[in-house]
Structure 1
Amino acid sequence: MTNKDIVQHALSELITTGSTKGLEPLLSEDFVHHRPDATSSTKTEWLAAVEAALVPLAGMQVEIRHLLADGDHVVLHTRRRLPDGPEIAVVDIWRVDGELISEAWEIIEPVAAAHANLTWWDPAGR
């Protein structure tokens, strides 16, 4: 199985079953999830957070825009929308080691806020 296949299988397990049970064995025991605010969580902590979000996120539509692999890294760009909620763009970067996902990074941006973030560097644009 390629690294892209492993990540795609993990996402499919989560979305189609609505449970982390199929995802859990695809993560290494020392799995680390990194957030943009420099916090991170362990496998147990991250799975608990994902499990807690499954009910509020039920019915979420996920459209895979890009799935790219380079060595042991896989990049997944998706657009996600709740039935009556805002659309978000998500970029996940996964590192696969020995056919298990060992690290993940995640960036989430509301699509409606994207334009405002295009000039983050310009003091006049803030």
Structure 2
Amino acid sequence: MVLTSDKKSDASVSARDFAAEEVNRALVLRFYEQFFNEHQTAEAARLLAEDYRQHNPTVPDGRAPVVGYFTQFFKDNPQSRARIVRSATDGDLVYLHIHSTNGPADRGVAVVDIFRVKDGLIVEHWDVIQPVPAESANSNTMF
């Protein structure tokens, strides 16, 4: 029997550039706050690559289409906010755990956003979204 592991070797972990990862994390946090909480889509989009690649099937690729999509979304949903609960990095990837709501009465959704950063710009995005239920089988929160 052969066992494999998803864990990185100690050598690859020690080769990480934590200072560069922190720069990427700060860039993504700045983008997220300005874009999703201040709704300053055009200004925040300066941190997106022109050919930004989107893996959420409801959002288009490209900087300009993303700005257009979310500008309209925030116009229709002015109370939309996204609270960053935690963040992490791994190389060129930045991970955010988010509680996104659309007004004070909205239970919201739990989101894990993954951004890839290259040359000081966000070039790619993935997300996983789960509604926050009214009841849970345990006493833990999603955040």
Query: Which structure shows the higher strand fraction?
Result: 1
Secondary structure, counterpart of 2:43 in structure 1: coil
How many residues end up aligned between the 2 structures?
115
TM-score normalised by L of structure 2: 0.69
Deviation at 1:29, TM superposition (A): 1.4
Structure 2, unpaired ranges of 5+: 1-21, 138-143
Look up the match of 1:82: 102
Q: Aligned partners of 2:77, 2:58: CA distance in 1, in Å?
A: 24
Segment of structure 1 superposing worse, 25-34 or 42-51 = 42-51
Q: Which residues in structure 2 correspond to 1:50-61 (within 5 Å)?
A: 50-61=70-81
Percent of aligned pairs with the same residue?
A: 27
- Structure of higher CA gyration radius: 2
Give runs of ≥4 in structure 1 deviating > 4 Å.
Answer: 37-40, 113-116
Equivalent residue runs for 1:1-126 within 5 Å: 2-35=23-56, 37=57, 41-83=61-103, 84-112=105-133
Task: Let me know the Cα RMSD of the aligned residues.
Answer: 2.5
Instruction: State the alpha-carbon separation in 1 of the partners of residues 59 and 25 from structure 2.
Output: 26
